[in-house]
Every structure is written in structure tokens, then in C-alpha cells.
Chains A and B, each alone.
Chain A
């Protein structure tokens, strides 16, 4: 019995939250990796672009709530996401036309594009803050828990409860659907294949008649979808605050590089690697050992590898280690 309790404990505090957080990171990381692979620059505006999309999702959610449209047990935001995506994709295409296109056609070095993306970051940040303000916003409605800790305890008669938030389930399901569709698109359709060809070797792709304008546009559309959904899911699960989104850029970058930048599958797994290691290394295992070990060997301390203050630092340290020993990432991405 104790052993089952220990497993439930780990599931409740590590596995489920890490899976949800990892999914959110994974979407962001695929966004980064797509832009890196096809448009060939590190996009420092990642976090702010995500907050831009989420902002529209929130605005539409508020609008739907005010007219009384809702999805019942599901959050209204799910209904608002497509509208958010439309605005987001529009914004990205405008930004591309006004800003990035010039450098792309001039074949500027990637560093210059990265610098330009910092300018975009500042502008996007200002736009988001002017429209919706810098404060913390919650836009979740509907049923909060799928399984409550108390109900679970009653149901199974265990000491430990397992609480599963509906946002966590939604996050994981939506991510799985989205990512599998994306991989199907990239691997099976003609457009997807031409995107991969363009990413692999631009000149060769151009020679074989692939239209770069189309590729770039589709990349922005996909990126817009990923950024909006990733941002909205994160906002549903936690809360929306422009500053947090800006900061999320860092673990997202870490996930993309750990997985092998330019490799969408690597980015997908990288998200989970980062999320799990952050939570595994900063969790206090005291209770777990109390269940598993006999009473005489019970630990005194918290049995915590690192204090939770270093949550962010964990993912960055992993990144540094990966860069040192396997610079192309776990799943070979572009070689540095």
C-alpha cells in the first residue's frame, strides 16, 4: 500500500505537472525551431509573440463571456483560440513583410536578423502592454478539476490524493493532436516536404522549383498557430502576464537547443526533458522516502537536490552541459 501511495505522490507532484508544463514548452520550442530551421534566425521575440496571440485569445474570451457564449465544462478560451490565431498570423505576416523580409532578401547574416527580432520584441511588448496592460489576468472558466484530490482518496482509499486539473488534460491532449498533425504535415504532404527540403538546403530547394515565398508564409502561419495555442494553454494553466511570457522564452530556447535546434521532433522532446528535469531536481523527496523506506531509515531533511529557487537555473545548466558535450542537441539538429 505504501508503495502505491509513493507512486501516486510522484504522479501528483511530478509527473502530471511536468507533462503539462513540458507540453507548453514543447509548443514554444517547435515554434523556435521552425523559425530557426526555415527562416534561419534565433527569434528573441518568441515569448512576446506568444503573449500577443494569447492576448487576443483573452480578449475574445472576455467578449464571448460578456455575450454569454460558453462551452459548459470546457473553458471558453478554446472557442476563442481560432480567432486569436487569425489575428496572430495576420500580425506575423505584417511583421515579416515590414521587417524580416528585407533582411531575408538581402541575405543578411543570422546575427543581424536576431538583432532585428529584438526590435520586434520591444515593439510587441509595447503593443501588448498598451492593449491589455501589464497585470496578471486569469481567463479560465468551466470545470476546474477532472479529479479532485479528496475524491480520489475516497475512491481508492489511499492516503495520497491525485488531483488532475482539467487544464492539464486539455494541454496534453491539444498538444498531442497539434504536434501529430504537424508531423504528419511535415512528413507526408508535399508542402511539408518542400519545407523540410528548404530547411535542409536552400539553394537546392530553389533549384528544384520550390517557391520560397510560399514556404516562408506557411512557416509563419504554422508558427502563429503554435505560438497562440502554446501561449493560451500556458495562460489557462497558470495565468497571463506579459512579463512571465517574456521570461518563458528562456526555458523554451533551452528546450529547442537541447532537442537539437532545427529539428521539430527534438524540440518536442526537449520541452519534456526541460520540464521533467526542472521538477525532478527541485522536488523534495522526503515524503516519498517516508513511504518507500522502512520507518527506521526515515530521512530527516527534505531530500531535495536543489532548492526550488533554482528551478529556472536547472534548465539553463542542462543547456550548458548539452552545448558542451553535444552541441547539436540530443537529436541531431543543425550542426553549430
Chain B
């Protein structure tokens, strides 16, 4: 208990801050911050597994997040029948062709010795395959995108509950991570960082521009929810009576019946959105706790010990007979899969999929700031980092505004410097993140909650 005191203290302060936001701003804001903190926590857990456990740099977090989001679309949206009948055949045929191509290349690579001829044949297969692929897929894609482009124009999904997409998102991201890992994991750390960063940009480019699959920059809106809708809640009796019970003291002060009714209506509207957010919080909390238990168990298992050994001294671990390449690949896939879950959760919460909003700053670098500030190698630290950084990211604007007002208090309200500074308040969050990261890296390089390894 005593040795975990700093963990408990840090988390209580964090919770206290969120509750303060709830009291001073509104519970709605506090809960939306809390929910995104939870999602960020899942992302940081994924990044922490890769960086903290194994020392692998993954700057492709954005790509895995987007793939998770794509999974949410492909699982939950109802299939568009017309699009399937218009171009479904071509798409399926193209898919088969790709599989055949991959298998053919693999067969050749496996069964023939390395030679110039082999390289030429493989290149020929790939080029020929791409040409044929374009001939087959193009009419199909055009037909699909032509189906009611204002509303659909894509194949749609499976029409299943969106919760399933959290698992599917993990598989999507894990699958991509497997391919990337096979290609890039042999690279030295900073090259791996650049390579993954660029590969994630390719993933985003594909998601943005393959309209038949993702609707591209036209966005997919109105995804199904795992939680009730506000509008429905506002008309259910049990919810209204619940709100009434909660606020009975406040309501009893109002004697006039019509006034009381309108006050109640207002409370119900507010309460409904808080309730919906609470539902999400519950769901996310379950995911975070499950992942935390699993990652904690993994960290203290023989496997976790092996990963740390590999991280700290690759050669020695290799000499002890540990398969470094295989373990790196495994951990890269695992971490990315967790990020994929977070991506699906994010889209679930927003109820919309906007490929244009995936930017490396928000989805890769910010997550890294979270891991470093929180404490890499320590799951509690990584989660705390997610909370702290996201909280500051959102609250930076109010804090910045306060600071600007404080420092320029002597100036006239219309003074150009003051106006300019107040206009640029939104960018204080970048400054805060940057300075925070630099200070932590300099004076507390292991993060707020440093890694602690106890031998059990």
C-alpha cells in the first residue's frame, strides 16, 4: 500500500481536477474530457507496450487508430444493397486476384533460388496484376460510387452492433502491424520511427481516397450507438422520474407548477446527455480495466521479464536463446491491436468517421507525449499520462486565456497586443505540450510515475 502511495495520489489529483471541471464548467464537459481521457489511456497502453516493454518506436499510431475507426464503419453501417449489386462482383473478384497475386509471389519466393530471373518474374507478376486489377476494379468502383453519392456511394458494412468493431478494429490494426513489422522492424530505432510515420500517412491516404470502401472525405455520419439516444431518453418515464428524484430538493423550491415543469424539462435535457456520456464512460472503463489487468499480468510474467531483457540488452537476450525478431513482431502486433481498439472506441463515441481529421500531430505525437510524460514502462504511468495530457490539451485554452488576461491586465482592452494574444489562445496548447515534454524529458526522464520493477 505504502509504495503505491504516489500512484494513488496522482490518480486522486487527476480525478479531483476532472471533478473541479464538472463543478465549475459543467458535468457535460467534465465527462467528455473523462471519456476521451479513457480512450487516450487505451492508446497510451498500446504505445507503452511497444515502447516501454520492448523499446520499439511506433510513430504510426495514427494509422492504427484510423484502421480501428474504419472497422467501426465496416461493422456497424448497414450494407448498401444497390452498391453491392452494382459493383460487388468486381470488388470481390479484385480481392481474390490480390490474394492470388500474393500467394503466387510467395510460392515463387519460397520454391526458387534467388536469381535475376526470379526478381524479374516477381516484378512481372506484380505489374501485370496491378494492370489487370485496375481493369477489373475501375468499373466496379465507379458503379459503387455512383450509387446515390450524396447519401451512400460506398459498400456499407455488415450492420452488426458497433461494439463488435472494437475487436475487429484490433484485428485490423494487428494485421497491418504484422505486415509493417515484417517489413520495417529490422530498422534502427529512428529509421523505424520515420518509416512507421510515413506508412501511417499512406494508410490515411488510402482511407481518404478509396471512397467505395470508406466514403473518403465525405465522412460517414450517424453510426449506430451502443448507448441510448438523448432524444429517446428525454421521453422515457423512468429517466424523467430519475432526474426528478436526483434534483428533488432543487425542484421542491419551485412552487409554480408550470415553472417547475419547464425547469424539469431543462434538467432532463441536460441529464440525458450526461447519462449518455456516463454510459460511454462505463463501457470505456471496462475496456481500460480489462486491458490494465492483462498488461499488468503480462508485465510481471516470464514473458514480460523476457521483453525487458530484450529491451535492455538485445544481444544478451539473443545469446540466451530468445528469439528477438519474433518477440519484437509479436509485441508490435499486440500494441498496435490495442491502439486499434482505441480507434474503434473513438469513432463509436463520436458516432462519425472523418478520415480528414486524422493528423499525425493529434494521433501520433500527442500520444507519444502522453507516454513519455506519464512514465514509459509503467502501465499506471502511461494511463495517467493519457489523462493529464488530454486534460491539459482541452483545458489549455481556458488556462491560456486566464494567463493572457493576467499578464496583460495593465493594457487597454483594444490594445493590439492583447487582442492578438487572445486570438492566439488556442495555440497555447502546443506550447504547453512542448514545454511539458521538454521539462519532463530533462528533469524526470522516466515520467511522472517511473517504471518500477519488483521481483515477485
Contact = CB atoms under 8 A, between A and B. Distances in A.
Interface of A: 41-42, 44, 99, 102, 109-112, 114-116, 118-127, 129-130, 133-134, 246, 250, 253-254, 257, 307, 309-310, 312-313, 316-317, 319-320, 323-324, 327, 336
Contacts of B8: none
B438 A250 contact: no
A312 B435 CA distance: 31
B314 to A, nearest CB: 13
B380 interface: no
B209 A126 contact: no
Contacts of B208: 309
Contacts of B239: none
B368 A115 contact: yes
A126 B205 contact: no
18 contacts: A99-B442, A102-B442, A110-B189, A115-B368, A116-B438, A119-B433, A123-B434, A123-B438, A126-B428, A126-B430, A134-B427, A257-B191, A309-B209, A313-B206, A320-B183, A320-B198, A323-B183, A323-B184
Is the contact region of chain A dominated by helix, strand, or loop, or is it mixed? helix
Interface string B415-433: 0000001011001111101
A187 B23 CA distance: 66
Interface in B364-423: 365, 368-369, 372, 421, 423
B57 interface: yes
A133 B424 CA distance: 7
B306 interface: no
Contacts, number: 124
Contacts of B190: 41-42, 110-111, 114
B194 interface: yes
B286 interface: no
B389 to A, nearest CB: 11
Nearest to B55: A111
A66 to B, nearest CB: 15
B431 A126 contact: yes
Nearest to A124: B434
Q: Which of B198, B206, B435 has the most CB of A within 10 A?
A: B198
A227 to B, nearest CB: 18
Contacts of A313: 201-202, 205-206
Nearest to B429: A126
Interface residues of B, number: 41
Nearest to A321: B183
B101 interface: no
A323 B195 contact: yes
Nearest to B442: A102
A67 B151 CA distance: 54
B434 A310 contact: no
B441 interface: yes
Contact of B191 (A116, A125, A309, A323): A323
A91 B113 CA distance: 56
B197 interface: yes
A312 B424 CA distance: 30
B304 to A, nearest CB: 21
A320 B202 CA distance: 11
Nearest to A324: B183
Interface in B165-212: 183-184, 187-191, 193-195, 197-199, 201-202, 205-206, 208-209
B361 interface: yes
Nearest to B208: A309
A310 B209 contact: yes
Contacts of B368: 115, 118
Given A127-B431, A129-B424, A122 B437 contact: yes
B369 A118 contact: yes
B441 A112 contact: yes
Contacts of B188: 336
A126 B195 CA distance: 26
A312 B360 CA distance: 14
A327 B187 contact: yes
Contacts of B206: 313
A20 to B, nearest CB: 23
Contacts of A307: 209
B427 A130 contact: yes
Given A42-B191, A312-B201, A323-B195, 8 more contacts: A118-B368, A119-B433, A120-B438, A122-B434, A123-B438, A130-B427, A133-B424, A327-B187
